[in-house]
Structure 1
Amino acid sequence: MNRVAWLRYFIVTGFIVFLEVLCRTGIIPATVMIPPTSMAAHLWALLASGRVTPDIIETIGNVIAAFLLSVTLGFALGAVIHSFPRLRRAIDPFLATYYALPFFAFYPLFIVLFGLGRPPIIAIGFLFGVVAMIIATLNGFDRIPRALLKTAAVYRMDPLSTALRIKLPSAAPYLFTGVKLAVAYSFIGVIAGEFIMSSSGLGYSIAYAFNNFDNKTMYALMLFVIVLVTAVNAFFYVWEQRLLARRGR
Protein backbone atom coordinates (compact mmCIF):
# COMPACT_ATOMS: atom_id res chain seq x y z
CA MET A 1 0.00 0.00 0.00
CA ASN A 2 1.11 3.57 -0.64
CA ARG A 3 1.29 6.30 1.98
CA VAL A 4 -2.21 7.58 1.30
CA ALA A 5 -3.67 4.09 1.77
CA TRP A 6 -1.76 3.62 5.03
CA LEU A 7 -2.92 7.03 6.26
CA ARG A 8 -6.52 6.15 5.39
CA TYR A 9 -6.15 2.84 7.22
CA PHE A 10 -4.76 4.48 10.37
CA ILE A 11 -7.48 7.16 10.40
CA VAL A 12 -10.27 4.57 10.17
CA THR A 13 -8.62 2.27 12.72
CA GLY A 14 -7.98 5.16 15.10
CA PHE A 15 -11.60 6.30 14.85
CA ILE A 16 -12.87 2.79 15.61
CA VAL A 17 -10.54 2.45 18.61
CA PHE A 18 -11.62 5.89 19.82
CA LEU A 19 -15.31 4.88 19.67
CA GLU A 20 -14.51 1.60 21.41
CA VAL A 21 -12.83 3.41 24.29
CA LEU A 22 -15.67 5.93 24.64
CA CYS A 23 -18.27 3.15 24.74
CA ARG A 24 -16.32 0.85 27.08
CA THR A 25 -15.59 3.63 29.58
CA GLY A 26 -19.24 4.72 29.67
CA ILE A 27 -18.62 8.17 28.21
CA ILE A 28 -21.08 7.12 25.50
CA PRO A 29 -23.89 5.23 27.30
CA ALA A 30 -24.91 1.78 26.05
CA THR A 31 -28.41 3.16 25.44
CA VAL A 32 -26.90 5.52 22.85
CA MET A 33 -24.25 3.36 21.16
CA ILE A 34 -22.69 -0.05 21.71
CA PRO A 35 -18.94 -0.66 21.17
CA PRO A 36 -17.85 -1.44 17.58
CA THR A 37 -16.61 -4.88 18.65
CA SER A 38 -20.08 -5.67 20.02
CA MET A 39 -21.60 -4.51 16.73
CA ALA A 40 -19.31 -6.87 14.81
CA ALA A 41 -19.98 -9.78 17.19
CA HIS A 42 -23.75 -9.36 16.99
CA LEU A 43 -23.60 -8.97 13.22
CA TRP A 44 -21.70 -12.25 12.97
CA ALA A 45 -24.34 -13.93 15.13
CA LEU A 46 -27.15 -12.52 12.97
CA LEU A 47 -25.50 -13.68 9.74
CA ALA A 48 -24.77 -17.12 11.19
CA SER A 49 -28.38 -17.54 12.34
CA GLY A 50 -29.75 -16.66 8.89
CA ARG A 51 -32.42 -14.49 10.47
CA VAL A 52 -31.67 -11.45 8.33
CA THR A 53 -30.68 -13.29 5.14
CA PRO A 54 -34.07 -12.73 3.40
CA ASP A 55 -33.90 -9.01 4.27
CA ILE A 56 -30.35 -8.75 2.92
CA ILE A 57 -31.30 -10.49 -0.33
CA GLU A 58 -34.34 -8.26 -0.81
CA THR A 59 -32.45 -5.03 -0.17
CA ILE A 60 -29.54 -5.99 -2.43
CA GLY A 61 -32.01 -6.94 -5.17
CA ASN A 62 -33.77 -3.58 -4.84
CA VAL A 63 -30.45 -1.72 -4.93
CA ILE A 64 -29.25 -3.62 -8.01
CA ALA A 65 -32.51 -2.88 -9.85
CA ALA A 66 -32.41 0.82 -8.91
CA PHE A 67 -28.70 1.06 -9.78
CA LEU A 68 -29.04 -0.58 -13.21
CA LEU A 69 -32.00 1.63 -14.09
CA SER A 70 -30.14 4.72 -12.88
CA VAL A 71 -27.00 3.99 -14.88
CA THR A 72 -28.62 2.88 -18.14
CA LEU A 73 -31.37 5.50 -18.30
CA GLY A 74 -29.13 8.18 -16.80
CA PHE A 75 -26.48 7.61 -19.47
CA ALA A 76 -29.08 7.52 -22.27
CA LEU A 77 -30.82 10.68 -21.06
CA GLY A 78 -27.48 12.44 -20.56
CA ALA A 79 -26.43 11.59 -24.12
CA VAL A 80 -29.75 12.84 -25.53
CA ILE A 81 -29.65 16.07 -23.50
CA HIS A 82 -26.06 16.70 -24.59
CA SER A 83 -27.11 16.39 -28.23
CA PHE A 84 -29.65 19.22 -27.90
CA PRO A 85 -28.05 22.39 -26.45
CA ARG A 86 -31.36 24.25 -26.15
CA LEU A 87 -32.90 21.39 -24.21
CA ARG A 88 -29.87 21.33 -21.93
CA ARG A 89 -30.08 25.06 -21.21
CA ALA A 90 -33.72 24.59 -20.26
CA ILE A 91 -33.05 21.58 -18.00
CA ASP A 92 -29.80 22.72 -16.33
CA PRO A 93 -31.52 24.72 -13.52
CA PHE A 94 -33.64 21.70 -12.61
CA LEU A 95 -30.59 19.41 -12.53
CA ALA A 96 -28.75 21.88 -10.29
CA THR A 97 -31.56 21.92 -7.70
CA TYR A 98 -32.78 18.34 -8.11
CA TYR A 99 -31.44 16.97 -4.83
CA ALA A 100 -33.14 19.74 -2.87
CA LEU A 101 -36.50 18.08 -3.62
CA PRO A 102 -38.10 16.21 -0.67
CA PHE A 103 -38.62 12.88 -2.45
CA PHE A 104 -40.04 11.09 0.56
CA ALA A 105 -42.88 13.59 0.78
CA PHE A 106 -44.18 11.96 -2.40
CA TYR A 107 -44.17 8.39 -1.12
CA PRO A 108 -48.02 8.23 -0.96
CA LEU A 109 -48.01 9.07 -4.68
CA PHE A 110 -45.50 6.29 -5.36
CA ILE A 111 -47.74 3.83 -3.52
CA VAL A 112 -50.72 4.94 -5.63
CA LEU A 113 -48.72 4.65 -8.86
CA PHE A 114 -46.77 1.46 -8.15
CA GLY A 115 -48.71 -0.20 -5.35
CA LEU A 116 -47.20 -1.76 -2.25
CA GLY A 117 -44.07 -3.89 -2.28
CA ARG A 118 -40.77 -3.44 -4.07
CA PRO A 119 -41.64 -1.20 -7.09
CA PRO A 120 -42.08 2.08 -5.14
CA ILE A 121 -38.84 1.43 -3.22
CA ILE A 122 -36.93 0.75 -6.44
CA ALA A 123 -38.49 3.91 -7.90
CA ILE A 124 -37.13 6.02 -5.01
CA GLY A 125 -33.67 4.47 -5.38
CA PHE A 126 -33.80 5.16 -9.12
CA LEU A 127 -34.84 8.79 -8.61
CA PHE A 128 -31.95 9.28 -6.22
CA GLY A 129 -29.35 7.80 -8.57
CA VAL A 130 -30.42 8.76 -12.09
CA VAL A 131 -29.59 12.48 -12.00
CA ALA A 132 -26.07 11.81 -10.70
CA MET A 133 -25.51 9.66 -13.79
CA ILE A 134 -27.06 12.27 -16.10
CA ILE A 135 -24.78 15.01 -14.73
CA ALA A 136 -21.70 12.76 -14.95
CA THR A 137 -22.54 11.91 -18.57
CA LEU A 138 -22.93 15.59 -19.47
CA ASN A 139 -19.63 16.46 -17.76
CA GLY A 140 -17.85 13.61 -19.52
CA PHE A 141 -19.12 14.53 -22.98
CA ASP A 142 -18.31 18.21 -22.36
CA ARG A 143 -14.65 17.32 -21.79
CA ILE A 144 -14.07 15.26 -24.93
CA PRO A 145 -11.22 17.03 -26.80
CA ARG A 146 -12.51 18.63 -29.99
CA ALA A 147 -9.40 17.44 -31.79
CA LEU A 148 -10.55 13.84 -31.33
CA LEU A 149 -13.99 14.62 -32.73
CA LYS A 150 -12.43 16.40 -35.71
CA THR A 151 -10.17 13.39 -36.28
CA ALA A 152 -13.22 11.12 -36.29
CA ALA A 153 -14.86 13.40 -38.86
CA VAL A 154 -11.73 13.39 -41.05
CA TYR A 155 -11.68 9.59 -41.05
CA ARG A 156 -15.44 9.59 -41.71
CA MET A 157 -16.24 7.41 -38.73
CA ASP A 158 -19.91 6.57 -38.35
CA PRO A 159 -21.77 7.71 -35.18
CA LEU A 160 -21.56 4.26 -33.55
CA SER A 161 -17.79 3.97 -34.09
CA THR A 162 -17.31 7.54 -32.88
CA ALA A 163 -19.27 6.78 -29.72
CA LEU A 164 -17.46 3.51 -28.98
CA ARG A 165 -13.92 4.54 -29.93
CA ILE A 166 -13.85 8.27 -29.14
CA LYS A 167 -16.61 9.44 -26.83
CA LEU A 168 -16.88 6.58 -24.34
CA PRO A 169 -13.11 6.18 -23.71
CA SER A 170 -12.68 9.95 -23.33
CA ALA A 171 -15.65 10.32 -20.99
CA ALA A 172 -14.91 7.13 -19.00
CA PRO A 173 -13.43 8.80 -15.86
CA TYR A 174 -16.50 11.01 -15.48
CA LEU A 175 -18.87 8.14 -16.22
CA PHE A 176 -17.22 6.09 -13.47
CA THR A 177 -17.83 8.96 -11.07
CA GLY A 178 -21.50 8.82 -12.02
CA VAL A 179 -21.57 5.05 -11.53
CA LYS A 180 -20.07 5.33 -8.04
CA LEU A 181 -22.52 8.08 -7.09
CA ALA A 182 -25.42 6.07 -8.51
CA VAL A 183 -24.44 3.13 -6.28
CA ALA A 184 -24.33 5.31 -3.17
CA TYR A 185 -27.57 7.13 -3.96
CA SER A 186 -29.36 3.89 -4.83
CA PHE A 187 -28.42 2.46 -1.43
CA ILE A 188 -29.62 5.64 0.29
CA GLY A 189 -32.91 5.72 -1.58
CA VAL A 190 -33.70 2.02 -1.17
CA ILE A 191 -32.83 1.72 2.52
CA ALA A 192 -34.56 4.98 3.41
CA GLY A 193 -37.58 3.87 1.39
CA GLU A 194 -37.69 0.59 3.30
CA PHE A 195 -37.82 2.60 6.52
CA ILE A 196 -41.25 3.99 5.69
CA MET A 197 -42.71 1.94 2.82
CA SER A 198 -41.84 -1.70 3.47
CA SER A 199 -42.43 -4.58 5.84
CA SER A 200 -39.14 -6.28 4.95
CA GLY A 201 -35.58 -5.44 3.94
CA LEU A 202 -32.62 -4.03 5.83
CA GLY A 203 -34.17 -0.58 6.16
CA TYR A 204 -37.29 -2.04 7.74
CA SER A 205 -35.22 -4.25 10.07
CA ILE A 206 -33.15 -1.26 11.23
CA ALA A 207 -36.28 0.82 11.83
CA TYR A 208 -37.96 -2.08 13.67
CA ALA A 209 -34.93 -2.54 15.92
CA PHE A 210 -34.82 1.20 16.61
CA ASN A 211 -38.51 1.33 17.55
CA ASN A 212 -38.04 -1.62 19.90
CA PHE A 213 -34.86 -0.25 21.54
CA ASP A 214 -32.82 -3.18 20.18
CA ASN A 215 -29.52 -1.34 19.86
CA LYS A 216 -27.48 -4.48 19.18
CA THR A 217 -29.48 -5.44 16.10
CA MET A 218 -29.81 -1.86 14.89
CA TYR A 219 -26.09 -1.09 15.05
CA ALA A 220 -25.13 -4.53 13.69
CA LEU A 221 -27.27 -3.99 10.59
CA MET A 222 -25.99 -0.43 10.20
CA LEU A 223 -22.44 -1.81 10.32
CA PHE A 224 -23.35 -4.35 7.64
CA VAL A 225 -24.69 -1.59 5.36
CA ILE A 226 -21.55 0.52 5.87
CA VAL A 227 -19.24 -2.41 5.11
CA LEU A 228 -21.28 -3.45 2.06
CA VAL A 229 -21.37 0.04 0.52
CA THR A 230 -17.66 0.55 1.24
CA ALA A 231 -16.80 -2.78 -0.41
CA VAL A 232 -18.86 -1.98 -3.52
CA ASN A 233 -17.29 1.47 -3.88
CA ALA A 234 -13.82 0.00 -3.32
CA PHE A 235 -14.49 -2.49 -6.12
CA PHE A 236 -15.46 0.28 -8.53
CA TYR A 237 -12.46 2.36 -7.41
CA VAL A 238 -10.01 -0.48 -8.12
CA TRP A 239 -11.66 -1.15 -11.48
CA GLU A 240 -11.47 2.55 -12.36
CA GLN A 241 -7.78 2.76 -11.43
CA ARG A 242 -6.95 -0.26 -13.57
CA LEU A 243 -8.76 1.19 -16.57
CA LEU A 244 -7.01 4.53 -16.11
CA ALA A 245 -3.64 2.76 -15.83
CA ARG A 246 -4.28 0.86 -19.08
CA ARG A 247 -5.41 4.08 -20.73
CA GLY A 248 -2.21 5.87 -19.68
CA ARG A 249 0.09 3.29 -21.23
Structure 2
Amino acid sequence: MQDRFTNKVALVTGAGSQRGIGRATALALAKEGASVVITDVVPESVQKVTEELQKIGPAMGEVADVRDKEAMRRVVRSLTDRFGGLDILVNVAGLTRPTTFLDISEDEYDLVLDVNLKGTFLTTQVAVPAMLQRGGGAIVSLSSVSGQRGGGVFGSSHYSAAKAGIMGFTKAIARELTPRGIRVNCVAPSMVDTDIAGDLLTEQRKAELGQGTLMGRIANVDDVVKCILFLASDESSYLTGVTLDINGGMHMH
Protein backbone atom coordinates (compact mmCIF):
# COMPACT_ATOMS: atom_id res chain seq x y z
CA MET A 1 0.00 0.00 0.00
CA GLN A 2 1.23 3.48 -0.84
CA ASP A 3 1.35 6.21 1.78
CA ARG A 4 0.93 9.39 -0.25
CA PHE A 5 -1.34 11.33 2.09
CA THR A 6 0.19 11.09 5.54
CA ASN A 7 -0.42 14.31 7.49
CA LYS A 8 -2.89 15.49 4.84
CA VAL A 9 -6.49 16.47 5.50
CA ALA A 10 -9.04 15.72 2.78
CA LEU A 11 -12.66 16.73 2.28
CA VAL A 12 -14.81 14.56 0.01
CA THR A 13 -18.35 15.65 -0.83
CA GLY A 14 -21.13 13.30 -1.88
CA ALA A 15 -19.51 10.36 -0.09
CA GLY A 16 -22.58 8.64 1.34
CA SER A 17 -23.54 6.14 -1.36
CA GLN A 18 -22.31 2.63 -0.62
CA ARG A 19 -21.43 2.00 -4.28
CA GLY A 20 -20.40 5.56 -5.06
CA ILE A 21 -17.19 7.24 -6.15
CA GLY A 22 -17.21 9.53 -3.12
CA ARG A 23 -17.18 6.77 -0.52
CA ALA A 24 -14.53 4.79 -2.40
CA THR A 25 -12.36 7.89 -2.73
CA ALA A 26 -12.67 8.68 0.97
CA LEU A 27 -11.72 5.13 1.96
CA ALA A 28 -8.76 5.12 -0.43
CA LEU A 29 -7.47 8.43 0.95
CA ALA A 30 -7.81 7.12 4.50
CA LYS A 31 -5.92 3.94 3.66
CA GLU A 32 -3.04 6.08 2.40
CA GLY A 33 -2.80 8.09 5.59
CA ALA A 34 -5.14 11.06 5.19
CA SER A 35 -7.48 12.40 7.82
CA VAL A 36 -10.77 12.36 5.94
CA VAL A 37 -13.92 14.45 6.23
CA ILE A 38 -17.01 13.49 4.25
CA THR A 39 -20.34 15.14 3.53
CA ASP A 40 -23.64 13.91 2.21
CA VAL A 41 -27.30 14.80 2.63
CA VAL A 42 -28.46 11.46 4.07
CA PRO A 43 -27.66 11.23 7.81
CA GLU A 44 -27.66 7.43 7.98
CA SER A 45 -25.25 7.20 5.05
CA VAL A 46 -22.89 9.78 6.56
CA GLN A 47 -22.84 7.87 9.84
CA LYS A 48 -22.17 4.52 8.18
CA VAL A 49 -19.32 5.72 5.98
CA THR A 50 -17.79 7.74 8.82
CA GLU A 51 -17.71 4.61 10.97
CA GLU A 52 -15.95 2.77 8.15
CA LEU A 53 -13.39 5.55 7.88
CA GLN A 54 -12.76 5.71 11.63
CA LYS A 55 -11.75 2.06 11.60
CA ILE A 56 -8.90 3.12 9.32
CA GLY A 57 -7.84 6.46 10.77
CA PRO A 58 -8.95 9.93 11.87
CA ALA A 59 -12.22 10.90 10.20
CA MET A 60 -15.41 12.85 10.62
CA GLY A 61 -18.69 13.12 8.75
CA GLU A 62 -21.05 16.06 8.32
CA VAL A 63 -24.60 16.12 7.01
CA ALA A 64 -24.50 19.05 4.59
CA ASP A 65 -25.91 20.07 1.23
CA VAL A 66 -23.33 21.43 -1.22
CA ARG A 67 -25.95 23.91 -2.46
CA ASP A 68 -25.93 25.58 0.97
CA LYS A 69 -22.88 27.81 1.25
CA GLU A 70 -23.26 28.38 4.98
CA ALA A 71 -23.56 24.64 5.61
CA MET A 72 -20.37 24.00 3.68
CA ARG A 73 -18.67 26.87 5.47
CA ARG A 74 -19.56 25.18 8.77
CA VAL A 75 -18.06 21.94 7.50
CA VAL A 76 -14.79 23.67 6.67
CA ARG A 77 -14.77 25.41 10.04
CA SER A 78 -15.39 22.11 11.84
CA LEU A 79 -12.66 20.23 10.00
CA THR A 80 -10.22 23.08 10.56
CA ASP A 81 -10.96 23.05 14.29
CA ARG A 82 -10.58 19.26 14.39
CA PHE A 83 -7.64 18.64 12.08
CA GLY A 84 -5.93 22.02 11.76
CA GLY A 85 -6.63 22.80 8.11
CA LEU A 86 -7.38 21.40 4.68
CA ASP A 87 -5.04 20.08 1.98
CA ILE A 88 -7.26 18.20 -0.48
CA LEU A 89 -10.77 18.85 -1.76
CA VAL A 90 -12.59 16.26 -3.87
CA ASN A 91 -15.88 17.53 -5.30
CA VAL A 92 -17.95 14.42 -6.00
CA ALA A 93 -21.51 15.40 -5.03
CA GLY A 94 -23.78 15.22 -8.05
CA LEU A 95 -26.90 13.76 -9.59
CA THR A 96 -28.48 13.25 -12.98
CA ARG A 97 -31.94 12.92 -14.49
CA PRO A 98 -32.65 11.06 -17.78
CA THR A 99 -35.04 13.69 -19.09
CA THR A 100 -35.19 14.83 -22.71
CA PHE A 101 -34.61 18.51 -23.39
CA LEU A 102 -38.19 19.63 -24.08
CA ASP A 103 -39.46 17.82 -20.98
CA ILE A 104 -37.00 19.35 -18.49
CA SER A 105 -38.82 21.56 -16.02
CA GLU A 106 -37.24 24.65 -14.58
CA ASP A 107 -37.19 23.02 -11.15
CA GLU A 108 -35.36 19.97 -12.50
CA TYR A 109 -32.90 22.19 -14.36
CA ASP A 110 -32.19 24.11 -11.16
CA LEU A 111 -31.72 20.90 -9.18
CA VAL A 112 -29.24 19.36 -11.60
CA LEU A 113 -27.25 22.57 -12.16
CA ASP A 114 -27.26 23.53 -8.51
CA VAL A 115 -26.07 20.19 -7.13
CA ASN A 116 -23.45 19.50 -9.80
CA LEU A 117 -22.10 22.92 -10.75
CA LYS A 118 -23.16 25.43 -8.11
CA GLY A 119 -22.34 22.93 -5.38
CA THR A 120 -18.85 22.49 -6.75
CA PHE A 121 -18.45 26.26 -7.00
CA LEU A 122 -19.67 27.00 -3.47
CA THR A 123 -17.77 24.19 -1.79
CA THR A 124 -14.56 25.20 -3.51
CA GLN A 125 -15.09 28.84 -2.63
CA VAL A 126 -15.37 28.15 1.10
CA ALA A 127 -12.61 25.52 1.10
CA VAL A 128 -9.89 27.53 -0.64
CA PRO A 129 -9.12 29.94 2.24
CA ALA A 130 -8.43 26.97 4.53
CA MET A 131 -6.14 25.48 1.88
CA LEU A 132 -4.29 28.75 1.41
CA GLN A 133 -3.65 28.89 5.15
CA ARG A 134 -1.89 25.54 4.82
CA GLY A 135 0.25 26.89 1.99
CA GLY A 136 -1.58 25.20 -0.87
CA GLY A 137 -3.09 21.89 -1.84
CA ALA A 138 -5.01 20.07 -4.54
CA ILE A 139 -8.60 20.23 -5.78
CA VAL A 140 -10.13 17.46 -7.89
CA SER A 141 -13.70 17.73 -9.20
CA LEU A 142 -15.88 15.15 -10.86
CA SER A 143 -16.90 16.11 -14.39
CA SER A 144 -18.12 13.65 -17.04
CA VAL A 145 -17.67 12.59 -20.64
CA SER A 146 -21.26 13.82 -20.94
CA GLY A 147 -19.91 17.36 -20.75
CA GLN A 148 -17.55 16.65 -23.65
CA ARG A 149 -19.77 14.76 -26.06
CA GLY A 150 -23.22 16.05 -25.10
CA GLY A 151 -24.73 13.27 -23.05
CA GLY A 152 -25.85 10.27 -24.99
CA VAL A 153 -26.41 7.73 -22.22
CA PHE A 154 -28.46 8.67 -19.13
CA GLY A 155 -27.34 12.25 -18.50
CA SER A 156 -29.40 14.77 -20.45
CA SER A 157 -28.78 18.35 -21.56
CA HIS A 158 -28.86 19.94 -18.10
CA TYR A 159 -26.41 17.34 -16.78
CA SER A 160 -24.13 17.81 -19.79
CA ALA A 161 -24.19 21.57 -19.28
CA ALA A 162 -23.32 21.23 -15.60
CA LYS A 163 -20.44 18.83 -16.23
CA ALA A 164 -19.08 21.00 -19.06
CA GLY A 165 -19.29 23.90 -16.64
CA ILE A 166 -17.12 22.03 -14.15
CA MET A 167 -14.42 21.65 -16.79
CA GLY A 168 -14.48 25.37 -17.56
CA PHE A 169 -14.58 26.24 -13.87
CA THR A 170 -11.58 23.98 -13.24
CA LYS A 171 -9.49 25.78 -15.86
CA ALA A 172 -10.53 29.22 -14.69
CA ILE A 173 -9.69 28.73 -11.04
CA ALA A 174 -6.51 26.83 -11.92
CA ARG A 175 -5.33 30.09 -13.51
CA GLU A 176 -6.12 31.99 -10.34
CA LEU A 177 -5.07 29.51 -7.67
CA THR A 178 -2.09 27.61 -9.03
CA PRO A 179 0.29 30.58 -8.59
CA ARG A 180 -0.87 30.55 -4.95
CA GLY A 181 -0.03 26.89 -4.47
CA ILE A 182 -3.32 25.12 -5.21
CA ARG A 183 -3.49 22.79 -8.20
CA VAL A 184 -6.97 22.36 -9.70
CA ASN A 185 -7.95 19.45 -11.94
CA CYS A 186 -10.97 17.34 -12.80
CA VAL A 187 -11.77 13.86 -14.04
CA ALA A 188 -14.26 13.04 -16.81
CA PRO A 189 -15.44 9.44 -16.53
CA SER A 190 -17.78 7.73 -18.94
CA MET A 191 -20.47 5.47 -17.47
CA VAL A 192 -19.35 4.06 -14.12
CA ASP A 193 -20.93 1.09 -12.38
CA THR A 194 -22.56 3.01 -9.51
CA ASP A 195 -26.12 3.71 -8.46
CA ILE A 196 -26.35 7.20 -9.99
CA ALA A 197 -28.53 5.95 -12.86
CA GLY A 198 -30.78 3.93 -10.56
CA ASP A 199 -32.61 1.02 -12.17
CA LEU A 200 -31.64 2.11 -15.69
CA LEU A 201 -28.19 0.53 -15.49
CA THR A 202 -29.18 -3.11 -15.92
CA GLU A 203 -26.68 -5.88 -16.58
CA GLN A 204 -27.77 -5.92 -20.21
CA ARG A 205 -27.28 -2.16 -20.51
CA LYS A 206 -23.83 -2.43 -18.93
CA ALA A 207 -22.83 -4.96 -21.56
CA GLU A 208 -24.20 -2.78 -24.36
CA LEU A 209 -22.38 0.29 -23.09
CA GLY A 210 -19.18 -1.71 -22.65
CA GLN A 211 -19.24 -2.60 -26.33
CA GLY A 212 -18.93 1.11 -27.10
CA THR A 213 -15.51 1.27 -25.43
CA LEU A 214 -12.16 -0.07 -26.59
CA MET A 215 -11.84 -1.87 -23.26
CA GLY A 216 -15.06 -3.80 -23.77
CA ARG A 217 -16.54 -2.81 -20.41
CA ILE A 218 -17.84 0.18 -18.51
CA ALA A 219 -15.72 1.73 -15.77
CA ASN A 220 -15.77 0.53 -12.20
CA VAL A 221 -15.38 2.83 -9.20
CA ASP A 222 -11.74 1.84 -8.68
CA ASP A 223 -10.86 3.03 -12.20
CA VAL A 224 -11.99 6.52 -11.23
CA VAL A 225 -10.63 6.55 -7.68
CA LYS A 226 -7.08 5.74 -8.82
CA CYS A 227 -7.14 8.76 -11.12
CA ILE A 228 -8.57 11.05 -8.45
CA LEU A 229 -5.85 10.03 -6.01
CA PHE A 230 -3.19 10.56 -8.67
CA LEU A 231 -4.40 14.14 -9.22
CA ALA A 232 -4.63 14.76 -5.47
CA SER A 233 -1.09 13.51 -4.85
CA ASP A 234 2.35 14.95 -5.49
CA GLU A 235 2.73 12.46 -8.34
CA SER A 236 0.83 14.95 -10.49
CA SER A 237 2.69 18.00 -9.19
CA TYR A 238 3.06 19.52 -12.70
CA LEU A 239 -0.58 19.07 -13.67
CA THR A 240 -3.14 21.82 -13.24
CA GLY A 241 -6.19 22.85 -15.24
CA VAL A 242 -6.36 19.30 -16.61
CA THR A 243 -9.42 17.24 -17.46
CA LEU A 244 -8.36 13.60 -17.16
CA ASP A 245 -10.46 11.34 -19.38
CA ILE A 246 -11.51 7.99 -17.92
CA ASN A 247 -13.60 6.45 -20.66
CA GLY A 248 -11.90 3.31 -21.95
CA GLY A 249 -11.38 4.90 -25.36
CA MET A 250 -15.06 5.66 -25.87
CA HIS A 251 -14.37 9.31 -26.59
CA MET A 252 -11.09 10.68 -27.96
CA HIS A 253 -10.50 14.33 -28.76
TM-score, normalising length from structure 2? 0.28
TM-score, normalising length from structure 1? 0.28
**Relative contact order (C-alpha < 8 Å, sep 6+): which is higher?**
1
